[in-house]
């Protein structure tokens, strides 16, 4: 599995939640904006310090978080 260098986790930033490049914008903030109907170009316009790759990394991180094995009990 490839590391996601754009996603950082630090206890001193946003309570240790996954953020973009150590900034105080969480992965969940980007996902929430997308879920609410914002386009990537709108997000980049509103947050000029973000890059298109940051949005892609947030989506990739979310996909990885949901792709895990759920063991079944016999």
CATH of the domain at 45: 1.10.10.10
pLDDT value at residue 74: 66
Q: Measured between alpha carbons, how far is 19 from 7 in angstroms, rounded to an integer? A: 6
Spatial CA neighbour of 50 closest among 66, 29, 36, 35: 29
Count of CB atoms within 10 A of residue 20's CB?
Answer: 24
Those residues whose C-beta lies under 8 Å from the C-beta of residue 13, and which sit 6 or more positions away, are 19, 22, 23, 24
pLDDT tens digits, residue range 26-71?
999 999 999 999 999 999 999 999 999 999 999 999 998 888 777 7
Whether 70 is covered by a domain: the verdict is: no
DSSP-assigned letter for residue 13: S
Higher pLDDT, 73 or 66: 66
Q: Domain span at residue 45?
A: 7-62
Higher pLDDT, 72 or 53: 53
Q: What is the dihedral of CA 39, 42, 44, 47, to 10 degrees?
A: -120
Whether 2 is covered by a domain: the verdict is: no
Count of domains in the chain? 1
pLDDT value at residue 1: 44
């Amino acid at each position: 599995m490839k590391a996601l260098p754009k996603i950082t986790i630090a206890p001193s930033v946003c309570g240790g939640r996954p953020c973009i490049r150590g900034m105080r914008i969480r992965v969940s903030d980007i996902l929430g904006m997308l879920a609410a109907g914002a386009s990537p170009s709108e997000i980049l316009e509103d947050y000029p310090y973000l890059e298109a790759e940051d949005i892609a990394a947030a989506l990739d991180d979310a996909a990885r978080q949901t792709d895990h094995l759920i063991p079944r009990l016999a």
